[in-house]
Structure formats: C-alpha cells, structure tokens
Amino acid sequence: MSKVMTRTEKGIRDDDYELVTLSKLGDVDAFEELVRKHQKKMLNIAYRMLGNYEEACEIVQDAFLSAYKNIKGFQGISRFSTWLYAIVMNLSKNRLKQIHVRSRFELFSINNPVATDTGTLAIEPSSHNPTALELLEKKDVQKGIQECINRLNEEFRSVLVLRDIQGFSYGEISDMLGIASGTVKSRLFRARDAMKTCLKKTLGEL
C-alpha cells in the first residue's frame, strides 16, 4: 500500500487525517468524502465475508453509522482505514453468528423460493468481449471460490479475505482482528490449505 503515513505525538497521520479531523468537528461533507473513499473496499470485505450482496450492503451502512457516531473517540493510534475496516469485520462476524443461529431453527418448505444468482455482484465483461460460454465459466469459477470461502470457519475466513483478497499487511490484519501477527500467519496457512482442497473438489484442476 502506498499511503503516506507519519507518526505524531497524537498518533498516526495519514491521508485521511484532515478529513477525520474535520469530521470530528461535525463537518458532514468531510465524513461523506470518507464514505466515498472507503465504501467500495468495505462492501467487498463484507460481501466476501457473508457471500450475500444485500447483507453486505446493510453491514456497510451500519458500519458507517457506527463510525460517524464514534468518530470523536477515534484516537489515531492506527490508521483510520484500519479502524473503519475493523468495524466492518466485527459487524460481519456478528452477522455470520446470527445467520448460523437462525439457520438452525428455520424449517425448510417446498414452497420456499429457489435461490438464484440474481442480486449478486455482476461480473463485468472484459474489453475483449468474451463469449457467453467464457462468461459462464468465469462466473462458475467466481461462484466456486465464494462457496469455498463461505465454508471456512470465521477465524480463517477473516484472515484470508483481508490478506489474499484485500491485500492488507500482517500488521494491519493483526490490528483489525486484535490477534498476534503469528496467529494471523498460522490461520492464513490453514485457510489457504483448506481453500486449495475445497477448490479442487469444487472446480477441479484450474
């Protein structure tokens, strides 16, 4: 990551510093700029964690609301983005627990609607205009990858999403999840191994 970051007596000063400072003073426009700047990555994190676009959108809205209400308490010890994405991760993990509990008590009916791919993130065609078959194959791969991510335990899913999909450093992931860097690496190794096994079963050799 190429963010410019310096340390002051009050903490870390990065390229969000001025917007955060203004937001703390009640500048709504400054906070809206932070929203525009970070919402795409936040949505991607939530979607990868939950595997559901609508759920991910709700999580991101809740995360920004929480950040807005609590921004005056942000001390700047870590980057603002680290603090913000940590909120997304915590809300996503809580939602996963709710989904798991709910699924245990829900009864299935033959009248229940059949799940389809509508409403999920659309795959944009490349500039080379791929054929319909190529698009279907690409969609199947993306679906298979997400299905394998969904099968991971939450602790493994978190580090995989943050490291291999979002590209955060081990230190940043450690700060977000509140675990040691060594634990991040250990969980990531196990997550990658589980993904490799799952993808071979789901998609075969790619």
Pull the structure tokens for residue 46: 């939530």
Pull the structure tokens for residue 57: 């959108």
pLDDT score recorded for residue 77: 85
* Dihedral, CA of residue 195, residue 201, residue 202 and residue 204, to nearest 10: 100
What's the mean pLDDT when you consider all of the chain? 81
**C-alpha angle 35-14-37 in degrees, rounded to nearest 5:** 20
pLDDT score recorded for residue 127: 47
CA distance 81 to 47: 18
Least trusted range by pLDDT, from 122-136, 175-189, 190-204: 122-136
Domains and CATH numbers, the chain: 1-108 (1.10.1740.10), 127-206 (1.10.10.10)
Q: Please compute the mean of the pLDDT values over residues 163-174 and round it to a whole number.
A: 93
pLDDT score recorded for residue 31: 96
Q: Has residue 168 got a pLDDT over 80?
A: yes
How far apart, in Å, are the Cα atoms of 4 and each of 36, 175, 196? 19, 18, 35
Q: What is the pLDDT of residues 43-59, one digit of tens each?
A: 999 999 999 999 999 99
pLDDT score recorded for residue 11: 55
CA distance 22 to 146: 38
Between residues 77 and 68, the one the model is more confident about: 68
Q: What is the pLDDT of residues 113-160, one digit of tens each?
A: 444 444 444 434 444 455 555 555 566 778 888 999 999 999 999 999
Between residues 123 and 69, the one the model is more confident about: 69
CA distance 75 to 42: 21
| Contact assessment for residue 160 and residue 148, using Cβ atoms and an 8 Å cutoff | no
CA distance 80 to 195: 31
Q: What percent of the chain has pLDDT over 90?
A: 62
Q: Has residue 185 got a pLDDT over 90?
A: yes
Q: Has residue 201 got a pLDDT over 90?
A: no
Amino acid at 33: E
Q: Please compute the mean of the pLDDT values over residues 88-100 and round it to a whole number.
A: 90
Q: Coil, helix or strand for 172?
A: helix
Amino acid at 55: E
CA distance 121 to 139: 10
| Contact assessment for residue 87 and residue 96, using Cβ atoms and an 8 Å cutoff | no
Q: Please compute the mean of the pLDDT values over residues 1-28 and round it to a whole number.
A: 73
pLDDT score recorded for residue 159: 96
pLDDT score recorded for residue 144: 84
